[in-house]
């Protein structure tokens, strides 16, 4: 699926009680800086609209543990439509890579209506998304939203993020809405997510700071958990003028 020269980086995930995560966050804050996007609050919100085809291929590959797989999503930050990112995230075992391009609100609306067209003026990633939408029936299936506290270090190009209040929503037409969405949590109460991303190596002092002695790496997917509990709420979708629905089997 991937080109041989694709550059991947490590991604480790841990679902932990908030008390342990808070302790790790306090230790990291003594020597790591939060990235520039955190602002005065120290965190920001992420809202992502995920896509799948008519056969739920991305979901099925996640469940089956396919070694090389991908996801498509459109993402905004802090409920603002000033920056909208179309993203293709690819995974190979514990390694990940991501391609992205910025799109306008008008283009987003055209994509949702199936009216966007391939053009030489488009970013290649956008053209690929349009092709997949028309040939594979990519359509929106779930929104995932959460608050992220990010730390970054130049050593190892390391990024540590704490993702809290992870929730899913079927308000598929409300990605750009500046309001709370009707949603449900995807983790047990008091549980949140720690993600560790780095290139060739994880610096020892960062690894020691986040380690609690009880941590266990998870094959965690926000997208999978958001879809896992969706069997009783089958959304309607429209792709290029074709309506349909699918009953989920969880």
pLDDT tens sequence across 90-116: 998 889 999 999 999 999 999 999 999
Confidence of residue 241 (pLDDT cuts 50, 70, 90): very low
**105-112 and 124-136 helices cross at what angle (nearest 10)?**
20
pLDDT band, very low/low/confident/very high, at 2 (cuts 50, 70, 90) = low
Would you place residue 245 in the very low, low, confident or very high pLDDT band (cuts 50, 70, 90)? very low
Q: If 0-12 CB within 10 Å is exposed, 13-18 middle and 19+ buried, where does residue 217 land?
A: exposed
Q: Kindly give, in sequence order, each residue whose CB lies less than 8 Å from that of residue 227, ignoring residues fewer than 6 positions away.
A: 56, 59, 141, 142, 168, 248, 250
Residue 246 banded pLDDT, cuts 50, 70, 90: very low
| Structure confidence at residue 135 as a pLDDT band (50, 70, 90) | very high
pLDDT of residue 34: 92
Cα(125)–Cα(21) distance, integer angstroms: 35
Helices (H) and strands (E) in the chain, counts: 6, 12
Cα(210)–Cα(23) distance, rounded to whole angstroms?
8
CATH placement of domain 9-244: 3.20.100.30
Helix ranges, the chain (H): 18-28, 57-64, 105-112, 124-136, 204-210, 222-228
Tell me, what's the pLDDT at 216? 83
Give residue 39's pLDDT.
85
Residue pLDDT, tens place only, 180-239:
999 999 999 999 999 999 999 999 999 999 987 778 888 778 999 999 876 444 444 444
Residue 178 burial (10 A CB sphere; 0-12, 13-18, 19+): exposed
Domain boundaries, the chain: 9-244
Q: What is the mean pLDDT of the chain?
A: 89
Block residue for tokens 């209506």: 113
pLDDT at 45 over 80: yes
Residue 212 burial (CB count, 10 A): 15
Contact 86, 129 (CB under 8 A): yes
**Residue 6 pLDDT greater than 80, yes or no:** no
Tell me the HSE value of 88 on the side-chain side, using a 13 A CA sphere.
Answer: 15
In which residue are the tokens 């009880």 written?
214
pLDDT band at 1 (very low <50, low <70, confident <90, very high): low
Instruction: Name the band, by pLDDT with cuts 50, 70 and 90, for residue 3.
Output: low
């Amino acid at each position: 699926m991937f080109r041989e020269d694709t550059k991947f980086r490590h991604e480790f995930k841990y679902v932990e009680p908030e008390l342990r995560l808070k302790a790790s966050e306090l230790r990291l804050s003594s020597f790591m800086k939060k990235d520039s996007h955190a602002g005065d609050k120290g965190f920001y919100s992420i809202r992502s609209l995920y896509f799948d085809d008519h056969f739920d291929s991305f979901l099925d590959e996640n469940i089956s543990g396919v070694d090389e797989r991908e996801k498509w999503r459109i993402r905004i930050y802090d409920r603002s439509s000033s920056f909208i990112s179309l993203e293709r995230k690819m995974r190979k075992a514990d390694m990940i890579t991501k391609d992205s391009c910025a799109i306008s609100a008008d283009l987003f609306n055209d994509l949702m209506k199936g009216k966007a067209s391939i053009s030489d003026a488009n970013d290649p990633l956008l053209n690929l998304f349009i092709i997949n939408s028309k040939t594979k029936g990519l359509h929106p299936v779930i929104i995932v939203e959460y608050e992220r506290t990010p730390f970054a270090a130049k050593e190892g190009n390391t990024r540590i993020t704490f993702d809290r209040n992870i929730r899913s929503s079927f308000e598929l037409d409300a990605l750009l809405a500046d309001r709370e969405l009707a949603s449900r949590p995807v983790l047990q109460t008091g549980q949140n997510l720690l993600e560790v991303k780095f290139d060739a190596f994880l610096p020892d002092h960062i690894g020691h700071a986040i380690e609690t002695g009880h941590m266990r790496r998870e094959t965690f997917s926000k997208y999978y958990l958001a879809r896992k509990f969706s069997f009783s709420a089958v959304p309607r979708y429209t792709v290029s003028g074709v309506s349909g629905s699918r009953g989920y089997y969880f």
